[in-house]
Structure formats: C-alpha cells, structure tokens
Structure 1
Amino acid sequence: MSIGKRIIELRENKNWSQRELARRVNLNVSVMNRIESEDRPIKDHELDKLATVLDVTTDYLLGRDSNHGEEYDSLYEINQLLKKYNIDQSGFFDIEKWKSMGPEEIKQLESYFQFIVSEAEKKNKQQD
C-alpha cells in the first residue's frame, strides 16, 4: 500500500476530514491533498508530524513496517478484517442474527472458539 493510501486509511479510521488532518499537522489542505494523492513528495518533517498525529511510526507510513505503532494493535487488525470482508460490526454482534444459526453453523462456531482458546493458551504458555 502506498504512503498516500496509508495516510487516507488512518485519517478515515479517525473519522477526520482531509481538512482536519491538515489542520492537525499544520499544513495547507491543498498540500495535504497533494500528499495523499501522491502528487507531491512528503518532506521529512511532514512525515514525522503525520506519524505523530496519526499514532503510527514513520516506518509504517513508508511501508517498511506492517504494524501501526510500536506494538501490534489487534483491535485495529480485527477492524480491518471486518472491513475487508464487509462485516458490519453491529450486525456481527447482533444476537438476533445468531439465533437463526443451525446445528452445523453452531459446530463451526464452536470450532472457531476452540481454535481461539487453544491459540491463546499456547501464547500464554510461551510467555510464562
């Protein structure tokens, strides 16, 4: 993913307009537009300021690191998966939709839960 697309994605995840991000990093909105559309190279001091304001590393913005910050952000990654597979979060947690699941779907769900618990237990044992 390009730097412009990363900036747009991060900005949209914060529900900021391009104007709002430009204000936060002290840039003219037209400059911010050109950075996001990659019509203008980003200067080092702008990169640093964007990384700070967007709560990521400069390496992430430059595509050198797939993590957004110093630590892995599992909630962010889960939200990205929900977006990628077009799963509406409110629908995902809507109990009424779960009530319509049949026996085979419940078995699949149980398998998934077992997998998650098993992986968590493995990780906990490795950390001990």
Structure 2
Amino acid sequence: MDIGKKIISLREKRGWTQKELANRVNLNVSVMNRIESNERPLKDNELLNLANVLDVSTDYLLDRTDTSIPTPEEKDEAEFLAFANNPTLQKWYKELPKSKEEDLEKLRKMWEILKDNGEL
C-alpha cells in the first residue's frame, strides 16, 4: 500500500477529516491533499510528525514493516474484550454471548470506571 493510502486509512480510523490531520501536523490542507494523493513527497520532518500524530512508526508509513501500532481506540477495545472475557466474571462471562447490546454497554461503562480509577 502506498504512503498516501496508509495515511488516509489511519486518518479515517481515527474519524479525522483531512483538515483535522493537516492541522495536527501543522500543514496546509492543500499540501495534505497532495501528500495523500501521492502528488507530493513527504519531507523528513513531515514524515516524523505524521508518524507521531498517527501513532505509527515511520517504517510502517514507508512500507518497511506491515505492523502498525494500534490506535488508542483499538487498544481500549482489546482491553475491554479481555476484561469482558475474564473467566472470574463468572455469570457475566457465561451469559456474555447472549447479552443484549444494552447490557454490553453497561459492562463497558463499568470497565471504563475501573480503568479510570486505576483498578485494572
């Protein structure tokens, strides 16, 4: 995958517009547009800024590795699933596959409270 497509994919995973990403890396939106469409190469400092803001390595953006660093949302989701599938939750654990979305949301809120209080 080319660097422009990777940037677009990472930006969209975070729900950011092109303008939001451009602002976060201190670039003009038209420059960001040309970078994403591969019409303009990245300068070294721009590559570093993008990697930092998108929470990936420069090697990932340059296609030297196919492993990106998960987004904070992906990390939270993985942590939540590990919490939700913890066998010590006994009844909730056994009933989880049958749970309604509303119940899963209650569990997610409890997990967030415990996480925020440093109890996890």
Band of TM-score, shorter chain: 0.5 to 0.7
Q: What runs of 5+ residues in structure 2 fail to find an aligned partner?
A: 76-96, 100-120
Matched residues in 2 for 1:22 and 1:42: separation? 13
Give the percent of matched residue pairs that are identical in Structure 1 and Structure 2.
Answer: 61
Matched residues in 1 for 2:21 and 2:52: separation? 12
Q: How does 1:52-67 map to 2 (within 5 A)?
A: 52-67=52-67
Matched residues in 2 for 1:30 and 1:95: separation? 49
Matched residues in 2 for 1:32 and 1:95: separation? 45
Moved over 2 A (4+): none
Other structure's SS at 2:40 match = coil
What is the TM-score normalised by the length of structure 2?
A: 0.59
1:39 corresponds in structure 2 to 39
Matched residues in 2 for 1:95 and 1:59: separation? 42
Q: How does 1:60-79 map to 2 (within 5 A)?
A: 60-69=60-69, 75=74
What is the TM-score normalised by the length of structure 1?
A: 0.55
User: How many equivalent residue pairs?
Assistant: 80
CA RMSD of aligned residues (A): 2.8
1:91 corresponds in structure 2 to none
